[in-house]
């Protein structure tokens, strides 16, 4: 494997940049082109170089804005706006990062910042929720993937002020902010949330039933693989090895590429995990598994949904392609591009898409997502009310024991899937897989 990659933003960013150490006026003006100097004959530029005519047009527009705009605009502000414009039309993930943005990026990857716990992206000109992070104000308020934030504290959110809008959601813990949410099939509604220090708990685990474990990954950070390994080891009981595991990646917006590789490696013995391909050498790499499966071959079910993005899709795609896990849920987000963050001498940076990543079978899931092996819609399990409780032999007074446990004893309690329909189905599948064995060949 290549050297450890640099941490970048949660979810939608996968790092691949070794360069980072971690009123109204009715007057009419002449057209902007009139400010350009007289044309001169020049040698045509090459296919990868701007022509002199393009440079003249840019200079003419620049000067005309300075001369005629309703308010004074400094040259530095105009140049930075031009840089943002250069990047913003490339794709949704390339961007110019001011010092505050660059610092926020670092805060995200450290796992601690003041805010609401939302991963958002501008899609079709709207500030759209990719996923809320577990146990944050956003998650507790019920914000869902796909929700559109239309106003923040009464100020409309538009595509050209999205960066400022995102900054307004961050702030000092204990302060409040009001979001106006647009959700499909519902009228707009307001939510008032209190900011808190967001310390992301990456990994949680528990037993769903004796022998069947559950591990939830909220985001991929530096120590995620180590935490997953510890959770799996903790779930192994002295007299009850794990017969199967559910790996929950739902609403996981992603994180670090090398963390996704390390988590995949926990469950694979050998072979490809993921590859990246770009135009420059540093953007192309291949990652393979090393010997050792923490489940020792026990069945694995991976849960995904439309909020599973980036690093989550690397893990799901690798385990699916290698036939190591059954993927259950809904089609994932489809963020299959790699971003490099390149620092500038000014303390600012540019975030630039430099590669696409590919699953072991060679699939690029960019704008396609991971198709689950078994597709399930979100639903809740509710008990059916009956007029009378059913009676079994075990309820009869003085019933005989069966030799396996004392009469009238109760089964040990476990923290099951509750009303989570998808998780219940995952447990059912794990139980079936753990008991089914291929018949021996004659």
Residue 399 in domain: no
Which of 312, 335, 337, 351 is flagged as catalytic? 335
Residues 83 and 216 grouped into a single domain: no
- The least confident of 47-51, 135-139, 361-365 is 47-51
Question: What CATH number does the domain containing 290 carry?
Answer: 3.90.226.10
Q: What distance in Å separates the CA atoms of residue 378 and residue 257, rounded to the nearest whole number? A: 28
Residue 384 in domain: no
Task: Quick: pLDDT tens for 252-261.
Answer: 999 889 999 9
Residue 222 has pLDDT above 60, yes or no: yes
Q: What distance in Å separates the CA atoms of residue 357 and residue 278, rounded to the nearest whole number? A: 9
Q: Which two tokens stand for residue 180?
A: 């106006």
Task: Quick: pLDDT tens for 349-383.
Answer: 999 999 999 999 999 999 999 999 999 987 767 77
Residue 356 in domain: yes
> What is the distance between the terminal CA atoms of the chain, rounded to a whole angstrom?
42
As for how many domains the chain has, the answer is 3
Of 146, 173, 199, the residue that ends a domain is 199
Strands 95-97 and 189-194: unpaired
Residue 158 has pLDDT above 90, yes or no: no
Residues 265 and 358 grouped into a single domain: yes
Q: Which residue has the tokens 């926020």?
A: 104
Report yes or no: 214 and 245 within 8 Å, Cβ to Cβ: yes
Of 151, 168, 199, the residue that ends a domain is 199
190 noted as active-site residue: no
- The least confident of 85-99, 151-165, 267-281, 346-360 is 151-165
99 noted as active-site residue: no
Residues 180 and 252 grouped into a single domain: no
Residues 335 and 188 grouped into a single domain: no
Q: Which two tokens stand for residue 206?
A: 């528990």
Residues 273 and 307 grouped into a single domain: yes
The torsion of the CA quartet 224, 229, 233, 234, rounded to 10 degrees, works out to 0
Q: What distance in Å separates the CA atoms of residue 239 and residue 205, rounded to the nearest whole number? A: 19
Q: What distance in Å separates the CA atoms of residue 408 and residue 394, rounded to the nearest whole number? A: 7
Place 10 in a pLDDT band, splitting at 50, 70 and 90: very low
Report yes or no: 355 and 276 within 8 Å, Cβ to Cβ: yes
Residue 403 in domain: no
pTM of the model: 0.73
Report yes or no: 246 and 301 within 8 Å, Cβ to Cβ: yes
Residues 317 and 356 grouped into a single domain: yes
Q: What distance in Å separates the CA atoms of residue 158 and residue 151, rounded to the nearest whole number? A: 9
Please count the helices (runs of H) and the strands (runs of E) in the chain: 9, 19
Residue 421 in domain: no
Report yes or no: 73 and 85 within 8 Å, Cβ to Cβ: no
Question: What CATH number does the domain containing 140 carry?
Answer: 2.30.42.10
The stretch 288-294 carries a mean pLDDT of 97
Residue 318 in domain: yes
Q: Which two tokens stand for residue 196?
A: 């808190």
Residues 81 and 144 grouped into a single domain: no
Chain-centroid distance, C-alpha 109: 13
Task: Quick: pLDDT tens for 12-33.
Answer: 333 333 333 223 332 333 333 4
Q: What distance in Å separates the CA atoms of residue 125 and residue 127, rounded to the nearest whole number? A: 7
- Burial code (b: 16+ CB inside 10 Å, e: under 16) for 390-418 equals eeeeeeeeeeeeeeeeeeeeeeeeeeebe
In 15-120, alpha helices (H) = 52-68, 75-88, 99-110
Residues 195 and 214 grouped into a single domain: no
Of 65, 96, 127, the residue that ends a domain is 96
- The least confident of 29-33, 37-41, 88-92 is 29-33
Residues 64 and 91 grouped into a single domain: yes
Which of 321, 337, 351, 420 is flagged as catalytic? 321
118 class by beta-carbon count within 10 Å (0-12 exposed, 13-18 middle, 19+ buried):
buried
Which of 94, 259, 264, 310 is flagged as catalytic? 310
178 noted as active-site residue: no
pLDDT at residue number 61 = 95
Residue 357 in domain: yes
Residues 210 and 336 grouped into a single domain: yes
Residues 300 and 360 grouped into a single domain: yes
Residues 241 and 366 grouped into a single domain: yes
Residue 341 in domain: yes
Residue 77 has pLDDT above 70, yes or no: yes
* Residue-range definition of the domain harbouring residue 371: 203-375
Q: What distance in Å separates the CA atoms of residue 300 and residue 212, rounded to the nearest whole number? A: 10
């Amino acid at each position: 494997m290549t050297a450890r990659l640099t941490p970048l933003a949660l979810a939608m960013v996968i790092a691949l940049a070794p360069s980072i150490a971690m009123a109204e006026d009715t007057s009419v003006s002449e057209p902007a082109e009139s400010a350009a100097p007289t044309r001169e004959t020049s040698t045509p530029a090459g296919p990868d170089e701007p022509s002199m005519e393009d440079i003249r047009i840019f200079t003419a527009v620049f000067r005309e804005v300075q001369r005629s705009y309703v308010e004074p605009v400094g040259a530095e502000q105009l140049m930075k706006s031009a840089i943002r414009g250069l990047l913003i039309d490339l794709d949704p993930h390339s961007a110019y990062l001011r010092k505050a943005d660059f610092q926020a990026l670092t805060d995200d990857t450290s796992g601690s910042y003041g805010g609401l716990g939302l991963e958002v992206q501008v899609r079709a000109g709207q500030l759209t929720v990719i996923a809320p992070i577990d146990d944050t104000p956003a998650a507790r308020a019920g914000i869902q993937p796909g929700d559109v934030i239309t106003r923040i504290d009464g100020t409309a959110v538009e595509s050209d002020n999205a960066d400022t809008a995102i900054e307004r959601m961050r702030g000092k813990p204990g302060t409040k902010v009001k979001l106006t949410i647009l959700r499909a099939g519902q009228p707009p509604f307001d939510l008032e949330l209190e900011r808190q220090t967001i310390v992301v708990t990456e990994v949680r685990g528990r037993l769903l039933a004796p022998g069947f474990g559950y591990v939830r990954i909220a985001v991929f950070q530096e120590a995620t693989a180590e935490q997953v390994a510890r959770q799996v080891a903790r779930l192994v009981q002295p007299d009850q090895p794990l017969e199967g595991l559910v790996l929950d990646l739902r609403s996981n917006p992603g994180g670090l590429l090398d963390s996704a590789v390390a988590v995949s490696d926990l469950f694979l013995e050998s072979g490809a995990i993921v590859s990246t391909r770009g135009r420059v050498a540093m953007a192309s790499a291949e990652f393979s598994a090393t010997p050792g499966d923490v489940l020792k071959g026990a069945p694995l079910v991976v849960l995904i949904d439309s909020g599973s993005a980036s690093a989550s899709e690397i893990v799901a795609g690798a385990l699916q392609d290698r036939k190591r896990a059954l993927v259950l849920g809904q089609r994932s987000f489809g963020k299959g591009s790699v971003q490099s963050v390149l620092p500038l001498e000014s303390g600012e940076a540019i975030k630039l898409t430099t590669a696409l990543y590919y699953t072991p079978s060679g699939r690029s899931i960019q704008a396609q997502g991971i198709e689950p092996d078994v597709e399930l819609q979100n639903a809740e399990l509710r008990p059916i009310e009956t007029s009378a409780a059913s009676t079994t032999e075990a309820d009869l007074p003085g019933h005989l024991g069966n030799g396996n446990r004392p009469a009238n004893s109760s089964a040990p309690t476990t923290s099951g899937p509750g009303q989570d329909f998808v998780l219940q189905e995952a447990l059912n599948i794990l139980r079936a897989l753990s008991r089914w064995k291929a018949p021996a060949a004659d």
